[in-house]
Amino acid sequence: MAQPKVTDLSPPAGAKEVPLRGDFKVTFGGHPVGTPTLRLEPSDGALEPARWDGSTFIVSYSGLRFATRYQLVLGADYRSRLKDLGHYEKRWTMTTEGYPRLVSVFPQDGQSIVPRVGQLSVDFTHRPPVEPHLSLEPADGVMLPIQWSGTTLFVQYSGLKPLTRYQATVSVDYGVKAANIRAQWAFSTEPGAPPAGVAVIWYGTSSPWMPASGTQRLVAIDWSGKLVGTIYQASATQQAPDGSVFFTSDRGLVDRNGVQVSTVGGFRSNPMIADDSKSLCDVVDSGGHLWL
């Protein structure tokens, strides 16, 4: 048998941005005699036992370093047509992917009217091997632990103050000064409760019957269409004509500051807020015929 013939390499010679874990694949023109060997130089990665898929020799790997040039060395023994023992060797190089870089942030730098309860996100080219640190200044809100979805970091937050400028900082320490990440950006939050005496219409940002959480974000729009306030409260189901109070799904009566002013009790049905925005009306079935 002649020396082995390699028809394809993956990753190919000279490849860049090679993942830190994956599969090395060498496809031969025909299945060689015996089992070839594959090694890495430098040998700081982990190679699993080889396996075959037809005439393709596969070695899974992991633990490679960022931005590092590696040489792969393939070796295979064979016998010539004269039955002499020969050794085939092939070398090629590749470079692993660089340290993860910052791609985008949300809220964006300079964004205004940002919800006081929401989510910060930071997207990277790859998920960093070390946990990033994310903070807000002033630090007067509550931030939950970091979560990941692919290459994107998410942090749920709450308790931010209205009409306040916040500076966000994300940092990643790779232990390599040239690759470390430190980025800052700023955003401003939405208004809080609308001004007293201004007639508004409240809009919910989610269904009152199927809220995403225990509270719902409600936005107040004045009669010119301008956003003048927001509150976070149990889901609203009905509001007064002037927006001064509204019912919540738990039968509470809440004012525009989100403060419960009373609970609705003693009514046989669900009451309605009258046109004067102060009185409550109740429709009672007297037991007779009802005419419309």
Residues 6+ apart with CB under 8 A from 43: none
More reliable by pLDDT, 204 or 25: 25
Structural domain harbouring 241: 200-277
* Domain co-membership, 181 together with 210: no
Indicate whether 170 and 216 sit together in one domain: no
| Identity of residue 20 | L
- In contact, 115 and 107? CB cutoff 8 Å: no
pLDDT, mean of residues 211-239: 82
Q: Are residues 256 and 209 in the same domain?
A: yes
Same domain, 148 and 226: no
Between 48 and 214, residue with greater pLDDT:
48
Top pLDDT among 252 and 116 is at 116
Predicted confidence at residue 292, as pLDDT, reads: 36
Please report whether residue 1 resides in a domain: no
Indicate if 127 and 156 belong to the same structural domain. Answer: yes
Query: SS3 of 96, please?
Result: strand
Q: What residue has token string 């090694």? A: 39
Let me know if residue 148 belongs to a domain. yes
CATH number for 70: 2.60.40.1220
End-to-end distance of the chain based on CA atoms, in angstroms?
98
Give the least confident one: 9-18, 77-86, 264-273: 264-273
Closest CA to 256 of 271, 239, 273: 239
Confidence of residue 119 (pLDDT cuts 50, 70, 90): very high
Which of 46, 63, 96 is the endpoint of a domain?
96
Among 30-44, 60-74, 111-125, name the one with the lowest average pLDDT: 30-44
The answer to the question of residue 290 being in a domain is no
pLDDT at 264: 62
Amino acid occupying residue 132? P
- pLDDT for the residue 165: 98
Of all residues in the chain, what percent carry a pLDDT higher than 90? 61
Looking at the structure, tell me whether residues 27 and 72 fall in a common domain.
yes
| 124 and 76 both lie in a single domain | no
Of the pLDDT bands very low, low, confident and very high (cuts 50, 70, 90), residue 212 is low
Residue 78 has pLDDT above 90, yes or no: no
Residues 51 and 76 in one domain: yes
Cβ atoms of 127 and 190 closer than 8 Å = no
- 143 in the same domain as 107: yes
Q: Which of 138, 166, 189 is the last residue of a domain?
A: 189
Asked if 252 and 268 sit in the same domain, the reply is yes
Cα distance between residue 287 and residue 144, in whole Å: 54
Average pLDDT, the chain: 87
Residue 239 lies in a domain: yes
- How deeply is 199 buried, as exposed, middle or buried, from its count of CB atoms within 10 A (0-12, 13-18, 19+)? middle
Q: Are 61 and 45 in contact (CB under 8 A)?
A: yes
Q: Where a domain ends, among 61, 76, 96?
A: 96
* Domains: count for the chain: 3
Asked if 129 and 89 sit in the same domain, the reply is: no
Its sign, for the CA torsion 173, 41, 35, 91, is positive
What is the structure's pLDDT at 290?
43
| pLDDT for 266 beyond 60 | no
Residue 39 in any domain: the answer is yes
**Who has greater pLDDT, 51 or 255?**
51
252-255/260-263 β-pairing: antiparallel
Contact 21, 62 (CB under 8 A): yes
Q: What is the mean pLDDT of residues 176-196?
A: 95
Q: What confidence score (pLDDT) does residue 132 get?
A: 97
